[in-house]
Structure 1
Amino acid sequence: MSVPSCCLKGFEWDGAPAGRIGKLANNEAYISGDNSDVGVMIVHDLLGWTFPNVRLLADHYAREANVTVYVPDFFGGEALPFGPILNGNWGEIDVPGFMMKNSREIREPEIFDCARAMRRKYKKVGAVGFCYGGWAVFRLGAKDHQPPLVDCITAGHPSLLIKKDIDEVAVPVQILAPEIDPVYTAELKTHTFEAVTKLGVPFDYQHFPGVEHACFVRGDDKKAGEREAMARGKNATVCWLRQFLHDS
């Protein structure tokens, strides 16, 4: 399976993550926050659970939405190197081989296991996924989970998403959608509107004009509008989590 290079672009924000390392189910995880009632799991993109940006996002969610956030490692201890990705040297990276080891079929069971562990621990659970994590949060919110594994989802520039994932979602759905996205295509965007609005679940579609796939984690201040989109995406996610994970 090939992955467009836009899925791999990254930009390291200033600042140092303030969380801690622990476990979720059988997975190593970055953890931020201390709310004992409300938890959120981030399913990371192809840069993995150690990428500073995703950990900084976890810190923001924990503080601003008053939740405990987990970023588990879903790549089995492996990570694509940041340097070649940030410098655009794609030839140094075996992306097809990496994706074969981290396909949907291989990683879905442990993603479900981590969500089940959170459901046992917390009264309310949310899931946020970027790029690679986008398909995963739709699967976490699928109707076949009874009782539900999560109470709401947010998907930012999702990849590996298929129409069946969209058709079967059964929890409140938020989409963060860049205008320029060869992965979350115009066809999938249209299908999302047509399908989710018929499912009887709360639906929030956030359109981000002029920015491209990966903007919500990368936040590159050298790209016009991208840092603003990153901040707007973070704020939208925080509001969504607060609305559906807190009683008041």
Structure 2
Amino acid sequence: MTFTDCCTKGFEWEGTPTGTEAKLGNNDTYITGNSPDVAVLLVHDLYGWKFPNVRLLADHWAREANATVYVPDFFGGEAVDLSLLEANRWDLIRPFIAKNTREIREPEIFACARALRQAPLNYKKVGAAGYCFGGWACFRLAAKEHDPPLVDCISEDVDGVAGAAVPIQILAPEKDPAFSPEMKLHTFQKLQELGAPFDYHHFPGVEHACFIRGDTNKEGERAAMARGKNAAADWFKQWLQDAREKEVNAQGA
């Protein structure tokens, strides 16, 4: 089985995504789940919003955290050639990355999060998750500068903790050039200073992109993908669905 075959078959892990495509604000979006009160914004990585494993992950979270999960297209309809990712041809991928920097994509990511809070959706609880490209986006969504807050909790796998003000979960592969041991230590120390609950998961023996790729040819990667999925689902259930139920019960008391 090739790397690309592993990527495109994915999760369950081999299955067909069950959601639909529609618009969230101005962005084409994969939507799965039917909760009227709890939403999760999944900011995709370089594999893009149509990558099967991204959508299957969203399906799992929708079922297991009882949420409606949104995966907008933040690459303007374009996609990275998976063969370039397979070959680690970063020299050919960098032009694509340059077209999708934080400065370029941040406004629409914020706009999608706001759309979840506003009419006609009006979600009461909103979480965010991101891998690689989506990691910085999650921490920007959680920053203290937003009043009212854009999200109620986040789960992600890279650095970017400055200013975060909501419950934070980090999924950290052992081998990750984008998240060095020094940066991991800094992150752990910084999280303790923020005063918000946090959850830090270390994944020994696996590398960057394991939570989406799930390559069965890489030892331990499929198990890491499943463990990461479970951790995030539990996190969202606790800080979104369970928190919402407590609010409803308090209002009815």
Confirm or deny a common fold (TM above 0.5).
yes
2:92 corresponding residue in structure 1: 94
Q: Write the distance in 2 (CA, Å) between the matches of 1:78 and 1:230.
A: 25
Instruction: List gaps (5 residues or longer) in structure 1.
Output: 1-7
Q: Write the distance in 1 (CA, Å) between the matches of 2:70 and 2:232.
A: 15
CA drift of 1:100 comes to: 1.3
What SS does the aligned partner of 1:94 have?
helix
1:24 corresponding residue in structure 2: 24
What SS does the aligned partner of 2:15 have?
coil
The correspondence of residues 45-124 of structure 1 with structure 2, limited to 5 A, is: 45-86=45-86, 88=87, 90=89, 94-120=92-118, 121-124=122-125
In the alignment, structure 1 residue 144 sits paired with structure 2 residue 142 = no
CA drift of 1:90 comes to: 2.2
The correspondence of residues 147-166 of structure 1 with structure 2, limited to 5 A, is: 147-156=148-157, 158=158, 161=159, 165-166=160-161
1:3 corresponding residue in structure 2: none
Q: Write the distance in 2 (CA, Å) between the matches of 1:82 and 1:50.
A: 12
Larger Cα-atom Rg: 2
The answer on whether the counterparts of 2:125 and 2:151 sit within 8 Å (CA) in structure 1 is yes
Deviations 1:141-168 (A, max 9, x none): 0010111100000002x2xx4xxx4121
Aligned residues: 233
1:5 corresponding residue in structure 2: none
Deviations 1:161-204 (A, max 9, x none): 4xxx4121100000000011111111211111111101110010
The normalised TM-score by structure 2 is 0.88
The normalised TM-score by structure 1 is 0.90
Q: Write the distance in 1 (CA, Å) between the matches of 2:165 and 2:126.
A: 14
2:163 corresponding residue in structure 1: 168
Q: Write the distance in 2 (CA, Å) between the matches of 1:83 and 1:94.
A: 11
Aligned counterpart for 2:7 among listed residues 6, 11, 31: 11
The 3 A distance-change label for structure 1 pair 102 and 20 is: same
Q: Which amino acid aligns with 1:60?
A: H
CA drift of 1:15 comes to: 1.5
Q: Which amino acid aligns with 1:39?
A: A
Q: Write the distance in 2 (CA, Å) between the matches of 1:200 and 1:100.
A: 35
Q: Write the distance in 1 (CA, Å) between the matches of 2:63 and 2:96.
A: 33
Deviations 1:112-156 (A, max 9, x none): 000000122200000000010000000000010111100000002
Q: Percent identity of the aligned residues? A: 60
What SS does the aligned partner of 1:198 have?
helix
What SS does the aligned partner of 1:171 have?
coil
Instruction: List gaps (5 residues or longer) in structure 2.
Output: 246-253
2:233 corresponding residue in structure 1: 238
Q: Write the distance in 2 (CA, Å) between the matches of 1:89 and 1:102.
A: 18
CA drift of 1:89 comes to: 6.4
The answer on whether the counterparts of 2:130 and 2:155 sit within 8 Å (CA) in structure 1 is yes
What SS does the aligned partner of 2:111 have?
helix
Q: Write the distance in 2 (CA, Å) between the matches of 1:175 and 1:151.
A: 15
The answer on whether the counterparts of 2:22 and 2:31 sit within 8 Å (CA) in structure 1 is yes
What SS does the aligned partner of 2:95 have?
helix
2:249 corresponding residue in structure 1: none
